Chains A and B, each alone.
Chain A
Amino acid sequence: MNLLSIIKRFAYDLQGLTFYSFRLFGKILSRPMYLMETFEQMYFLGVGSLFLVVLTGVFAGQGMALQFSIELADFGSKNYLGRVMVIAITRELGPVLCGLMVAARVAAGITAEIGSMKSSEQIEALRAFGIDPIRKLAVPRFWALMVMLPVLTIVTDFVAIYGGYIIAVYIANISGAVYWTNVTAKLTLGNFIIGLSKPFIFAAIIAIISTYMGFSTVGGTRGVGRSTTESVVACSISILFINFLFTRLLVPQIQGLL
């Protein structure tokens, strides 16, 4: 495959994704709403991912606290570990880590499920019975992610900061009271808004890309595997890229408003 054909395919996919996004957004608030499916997806995507984000949050927080405590000790300011942790975690690490973990677990599942339905003609069957597949399959997953990803991000933030506390107290020999005082000092409304804006964008990214990749699956079982892999890769790269753009362009604006 030469460079020109890669560029062509990327442009074609981007065009398809854009049109699909408009179609999806046109349906997210219109009837019929599949509430039962939405609640089921909230349980599957949200509660099902809880253990994963708790584990990754704790270990990521501990790793970061270990590194920072050593560096800060060199400047004689290891007592500020709580401040550094809360800024890094609430603004960047928590939303991005949670988004990536959920993308890896959930995007793969969504794409594989819809892709399998496509290759076994179940999507055509839905249409033949007068059901809009986007409304039935994509919209509930979109809303489930929009509700659950921010909740999971808050959980990730909390356990990562708590993981830092364990390191601060038991390894870096920082007083627990000092750590929490520094945490609360930087747990400001601004950091909270910046950190909690991102999961909504990441949720939309995961929902749009994973369902689009599922619906555009071709080539049977091998096609499902390919779509699933591409879906996780596309979601992960998009999350990191959009996170960078958000931090670069919107965070200063938000800080200016507060």
Chain B
Amino acid sequence: MIRFENVSFSYGKEPVLRDVSFHVKPGETVVVLGISGSGKSTILKLIAGLVQPDSGRVLINGHEMTTASEDEWSRVRPKIGFVFQGGALFDSMTVGENIGFTLIEHTDKTMDEIEVTVRETLRFLNLSEDLIDILPDSLSGGMQRRVSIGRAVAAVDPMIMLYDEPTTGLDPISTEAITELILKLQSVKGVSSIVVTHQITDAFEVTNHFIVLHDGVMVFDGPGEKLVQVQDERVQSFLAPFMQSVKNIPAVCPEE
């Protein structure tokens, strides 16, 4: 589904990713872990075509997207749902307009048809339909993230979902709601997902395939059981603060 082959990327002279390679299978969820500034979000931007790698290849469904034209990207992008850190909801539009945004922009559906889809999506998100005419500023952080997920899934059934720090800064109840939503999308719609986070306890709730980045270098790619046992100093230093809560991980890991 998604394949990175020796991808390197830099912002100006500052290297962000160095020779990163990994593979995400169809329907699989992968969590990318790492401290801030390790290049996690850049992986998502490369998949969505928001930035282009300096070297290496990014393949989606076997098609190389590194050299794709804007037309090819415009066909692929509607199939990719991107949940930005902080939501990135359009603050001048209502919740309904945000969720229906891609339907309004990319389809010929009438406003009545779009409203039906928006209401279905709100129910899917476990949000009240009364929120449809409310501006995003009036919502809590957790609700904004859920609406952001709704905006990503409402248009067409996405084949890839990209989550950039979806639970950062949220209270435990909102975090649980977002985690449930990620799992629900995975099981109901069968999408391939990449979740970027530095909150390892939440990460074990959604998958058992982990990638760890350190200074733009991929230092681990494998299952959760191996992650907690790996001897690499860079992985251990990242895991150390979380080890106390990670003790019970094998019990919560989804079965492979």
Contact = CB atoms under 8 A, between A and B. Distances in A.
Interface of A: 116-117, 120-122, 124-125, 127-131
Interface string B135-153: 0000000000000000100
A130 B88 contact: no
Given A120-B91, A122-B90, A122-B91, A130 B105 contact: yes
Given A129-B77, A130-B74, A124 B102 contact: no
8 contacts: A120-B91, A121-B86, A122-B90, A128-B50, A128-B77, A128-B82, A129-B155, A130-B73
A124 B101 contact: no
A124 B155 CA distance: 18
A120 B88 contact: yes
Contacts of A127: 48, 50
Contacts of B88: 120-122, 124-125
A120 B137 CA distance: 12
Given A129-B82, A130-B77, 20 more contacts: A116-B91, A120-B88, A121-B85, A121-B86, A121-B88, A122-B89, A122-B90, A122-B91, A124-B88, A125-B84, A125-B88, A125-B90, A127-B50, A128-B48, A128-B50, A128-B77, A128-B82, A129-B78, A129-B102, A130-B74
Interface in B68-126: 73-74, 77-78, 80, 82, 84-86, 88-91, 101-102, 105-106
B87 to A, nearest CB: 9
Interface of B: 45, 48, 50, 73-74, 77-78, 80, 82, 84-86, 88-91, 101-102, 105-106, 151, 155
A118 B82 CA distance: 16
A176 B219 CA distance: 86
A124 B90 CA distance: 11
| B interface, over-half SS | mixed
A117 B84 CA distance: 13
Which of A116, A121, A127, A129 is packed against the most chain B CB atoms within 10 Å? A129
Given A121-B88, A125-B90, A130 B78 contact: yes
Contacts of B151: 129
A47 to B, nearest CB: 18
A128 B84 CA distance: 10
Contacts of A117: 90
Which of B45, B73, B85, B90 is packed against the most chain A CB atoms within 10 Å? B90
Contact of B105 (A120, A122, A124, A129): A129
Contacts of B78: 129-130
Contacts of A128: 48, 50, 77, 80, 82, 84
A127 B50 CA distance: 7
